[in-house]
Amino acid sequence: MKIRIGIYGYGNLGRGIENAVRQNPDMTLAAVFTRRDPATLKIGTPDVPVCHVDDVIQYTDKIDVMILCGGSATDLPKQTPELAKMFTVIDSFDTHAKIPEHFANVDTAAKESGKIAMISVGWDPGMFSVNRLYAGAILPEGKDYTFWGKGVSQGHSDAIRRIEGVLDAKQYTIPVDSALEAVRSGAAPELTTRQKHTRECFVVATEDADKARIEKEIKEMPNYFADYDTTVHFISAEELARNHSGIPHGGFVIRSGKTGAASENTHVIEYSLKLDSNPEFTASVIVAYARAAYKMALAGDCGCKTVFDVPPAYLSTKSAEELRAELL
């Protein structure tokens, strides 16, 4: 009996989930839910029903884990608590500052329905969070660093696109090599925002646009660019399509800490990701945690959970015996 997965929202992440489910032999895609007219949506898996979100209640007996693929700004704060009333659910809510509020709302709904609802799964929040926790617990006298990139920031790309005279844009977040090396040395440096990352922008402007003004507006944009060293390149739409169509990302979680009678020994723990496709990797993490959510639900647990609550063994298709014999 395979784990029956539902996909709620079919954008980049939803397509990533669809592909990831195909790589996991213990799972099957049961249905895809969309706000669009289902007749207009072509999905990658044959013979899987595409349904309107309004009909989701008819699927409570046909889906073991519903994976919510909406955005964190407006979709998930509403959808996750709502769907947790009917399904075991999992989302990738990634507005770090609002996680406690989202948790509380989802927990209330999931405890009422007796379902498992897992939130904020992916790589950050997600695998990076787990690694911050492990490293901090192991080296209590230490210092944490998270670097992102090299990768595309959707939010920063969107911010550039809103500037007058900009047709399209792609923004890369890039960790500063010398900062990474200083952290890896165990020196535990104090680093400013500017010292940790640079930002590189590829911008397609209208023919008559004032490029100097656009560049100035980007570089001085508060929160997004003002605190960083930013490079702006104006390129053609063709070049953007040819060289910047991917969605790579990645990053580094590093903790250095001291041990010993006189804190004389230094240790460095590093976790890093180098990803060709941010949404596909996020989807792969979510699908592994969907398995865990399914196991927790089977065990009779309920309420809102995060990656911190999941024993690693729950993520695997292997039995406890196999894991001990093969991976320990």
Are 4 and 64 a contacting pair, CB within 8 Å? yes
Residue 288 within binding range of its own copies, rule CB under 8 A: yes
Of the candidates 159, 195, 160, the one whose C-alpha atom is nearest the C-alpha of residue 179 is 195
| Residues touching its own copies, count (CB under 8 A) | 69
Within its chain, how far is the Cα of 277 from the centroid? 11
Residue 95 within binding range of its own copies, rule CB under 8 A: no
Residue 300 within binding range of its own copies, rule CB under 8 A: no
Residue from 134, 152, 163, 219 touching its own copies (CB under 8 A): that is 134
Residue 182 within binding range of its own copies, rule CB under 8 A: no
Based on the number of CB atoms within 10 Å of its own CB, is 177 exposed (0-12), middle (13-18) or buried (19 or more)?
A: exposed
Are 49 and 4 a contacting pair, CB within 8 Å? no
Residue 180 within binding range of its own copies, rule CB under 8 A: no
Distance, CA of 242 to CA of 302 (rounded, Å): 47
Stretch that binds its own copies, among 75-83, 188-196, 207-215, 269-277 (CB under 8 A): 269-277
Looking at the Cβ atoms of 222 and 311, the one nearer to its own copies is 311
Residue 12 within binding range of its own copies, rule CB under 8 A: no
Looking at the Cβ atoms of 63 and 307, the one nearer to its own copies is 307
Q: How is residue 119 written in tokens?
A: 């939130």
Residue from 139, 179, 204, 205 touching its own copies (CB under 8 A): that is 139
3-state secondary structure 207-247: CCCCHHHHHHHHHCCCCCCCCCEEEEEECCHHHHHHHCCCE
Residue from 154, 165, 277, 301 touching its own copies (CB under 8 A): that is 277
Residue 266 within binding range of its own copies, rule CB under 8 A: yes
- CB of residue 258 to its own copies, shortest distance in Å: 9
H-only helix segments in the chain: 12-22, 75-84, 99-113, 127-138, 154-161, 177-184, 193-196, 211-219, 237-243, 278-298, 320-326
Residue 259 within binding range of its own copies, rule CB under 8 A: yes
Catalog residues that contact its own copies under the rule CB under 8 A: 16, 19-20, 23-24, 44, 96, 99-100, 103, 120, 125, 127, 129-134, 136-141, 184, 186, 259-261, 264-277, 280-281, 283-285, 288, 291, 306-313, 315-317, 320-321, 323-325, 327-328
